[in-house]
Amino acid sequence: GIQVEQSPPDLILQEGANSTLRCNFSDSVNNLQWFHQNPWGQLINLFYIPSGTKQNGRLSATTVATERYSLLYISSSQTTDSGVYFCAVATGGGNKLTFGTGTQLKVEL
């Protein structure tokens, strides 16, 4: 099956700093999503982005499908950004998501 690798596995930031999270995948995809799992366990959909660039407030994402990677940018980080960020991809029919192992982010004051 498809392999999804996320880096870095752990990240500690000071509030206000910027960061870039990376997701590499081993095969062509037609579905790629970024999720944030907050410290209470809730999974929140950030972006549906099989290709191209999207922005939502302080967050933006870029997927370069031909090179099999996606990037999630967090600007001016806040403590509420803490949690685990997952990349998930699907091939073929596009509905069976495979999740990466996540990036654990902690934002400190």
Partner 1 sequence: DAGVIQSPRHEVTEMGQEVTLRCKPISGHDYLFWYRQTMMRGLELLIYFNNNVPIDDSGMPEDRFSAKMPNASFSTLKIQPSEPRDSAVYFCASSWWGVAQYFGPGTRLLVL
48: region left, alpha or beta (phi > 0 left; psi from -120 to 50 alpha): beta
* Listed ranges 54-62, 63-71, 75-83, 96-104: which one lies at the site for partner 1 (CB under 8 A): 96-104
Contact in structure between 74 and 19 (CB atoms under 8 Å): yes
Is residue 38 near partner 1 by the rule CB under 8 A?
no
According to the binding rule CB under 8 A, does residue 43 interact with partner 1? yes
| Residue 63 sits in the site that holds partner 1 (CB under 8 A) | no
Q: Which stretch binds partner 1 (CB under 8 A): 8-16, 65-73, 75-83, 85-93?
A: 85-93
Q: Look at residues 108, 109, 104, 107 and name the one whose alpha carbon lies nearest to residue 6.
A: 104
What gap in Å lies between CA 72 and CA 102, rounded to an integer?
12
Binding region for partner 1 (CB under 8 A): 31, 33, 35, 41-45, 48, 86, 88, 93-99, 101-102
